[in-house]
Structure 1
């Protein structure tokens, strides 16, 4: 896959872009957007500020493109490209590079955005999962490629397990990734939604959300510890007899003359063994 991720570990510069041909100036109209752009949202205020800066000082860091016939495909620098268009520039400085295939182009676009912290936490997590699914990269490999710890990658990916509404709040900036991790301390969908609403309504800090989640989960744990199963001596004796016969854990749920018997098994072979033993009792 071309030079792969190893060539992309450091932020791009004229010396580190693979197979670049120096800085050129090309028509802004000849640049096509990257179809694999991982960044989905662009802050308008930030974009306006960059536009004003480009009008005054020009583009300080060239964007990165790949030549395709008489046109160019954007690889890195979409925000600068958008701001340049808004600033009314006709030509902009670019690095023209050669990439082996679409796969390498996708890698470069993803990692450039991750390294520049241009992605919101959900987009970043989606970029990591894309690298994992599309290129079969482990969390360790992704971490090395983007210069972050494996635990950081793992925590980022956990955000994708949040309910849809909460992910959207993080995506649009109403919640931080820290809030998301605090919500993940809750164990059920409803409890996550409940804490999410509480954070939004009360404008809770990350620390406050974490403390609230810890308090709730610890109370539930204490409650579970206090719930002690009461079993009559007769039921306990029957359980022990069944355990002795079947050679596995057995639990009788007795409710005033009705109930059920739970027989545990720990493998397919174990299930077959227990089934044969029950049949032999007929």
Structure 2
């Protein structure tokens, strides 16, 4: 996870407070943030916070905005929930004026990203909301939260997976690497079956990628087509299974092929001819995959 975030909470909360100091606000008058990206609150962590609040009180005020229906949380939902559970009647709060819905979405996501405690699916839904509600492109989302576009793209692609697989990712039973591999399977029932096998067998990402390639071969009856060769171009001496270097390659070429495949997460082929002249062929399967490769090979700040 990149550490560089875009606009910080201090910048985003730059609106003038309603007063220069905190004020006590009744717990039951506070409405939750409708744009909260967190879908699950850890009950153990909430219980620990509740006990801390009972002993020491609320040390940091929650941040609110005024709406037509009352006061709505901008930041501090865990503190508000724990205070309510602890039986507090009121909590210290700072009220910010003029905070828009668009800023609320961004604030809720950035606050949680700064604590790095959202799971990948919650992050993906947060990015998707910035696309749909703020009208941002993926590049725009990346700029607002201070991440690479490929990071945003990879998260959004997780939402193409069946709900059951998304749940496994949210619960950390599957990593993002496992999930990205499963996206290569065009049949949902096969995705689900292989996801269960990955979890049951404790497969590494590398092993899961090999299993995905085999599943695709079984579904299509053949391995993915090799790139078309132009007239007069020397053909490789042998074809290898998808994701593996050709057996006839020299050891150095096989090692480089496998190294590139691990780094780029896709099929790579090195076609070397006498005199160390040749081609490196890199496969992609959709527009998002192409954009990810471009970002990896030529980041925007180096173009």
Q: Same fold (TM over 0.5)?
A: yes
1:191 is aligned to 2:197? no
Flag the 1:179–1:52 CA change in 2: closer, same or farther, 3 A.
Answer: farther
Pairwise CA distance, 1:33:
1.7
Q: Which residue is equivalent to 1:126? A: 125
Q: Which residue is equivalent to 2:200? A: 201
| Structure 1 residue ranges without an equivalent (≥5) | 1-7, 228-282
Report if the CA contact (8 A) 1:14-1:95 is conserved: no
Report if the CA contact (8 A) 1:18-1:98 is conserved: yes
Which whole-Å CA distance do the structure 1 matches of 2:183 and 2:12 have between them? 42
Q: Which residue is equivalent to 1:12? A: 9
1:84 is aligned to 2:83? yes
Pairwise CA distance, 1:132:
0.7
Pairwise CA distance, 1:56:
3.3
Which whole-Å CA distance do the structure 2 matches of 1:166 and 1:143 have between them? 25
Normalising by structure 2, report the TM-score: 0.61
Q: Which deviates further from its counterpart, 42-51 or 176-185?
A: 176-185
Normalising by structure 1, report the TM-score: 0.65
Structure 1 runs of 4+ with >6 Å offset:
218-222
| Aligned-residue CA RMSD (Å) | 3.3
Mapping of residues 1-282 of structure 1, within 5 Å:
9-13=6-10, 16-20=13-17, 21-22=19-20, 23-68=22-67, 71-213=70-212, 223-224=222-223
Pairwise CA distance, 1:57:
3.4
Which whole-Å CA distance do the structure 2 matches of 1:185 and 1:55 have between them? 50
Which whole-Å CA distance do the structure 1 matches of 2:225 and 2:104 have between them? 57
Pairwise CA distance, 1:211:
4.6
Which whole-Å CA distance do the structure 2 matches of 1:9 and 1:36 have between them? 19
Which protein has the bigger helix share?
Answer: 1
Larger radius of gyration: 1
Which whole-Å CA distance do the structure 2 matches of 1:98 and 1:113 have between them? 22
SS at match of 1:130: helix
Flag the 1:135–1:69 CA change in 2: closer, same or farther, 3 A.
Answer: closer
Report if the CA contact (8 A) 1:115-1:146 is conserved: no
| Structure 2 residue ranges without an equivalent (≥5) | 227-303
Q: How many residues align?
A: 220
Which whole-Å CA distance do the structure 2 matches of 1:62 and 1:79 have between them? 11
Report if the CA contact (8 A) 1:99-1:105 is conserved: no
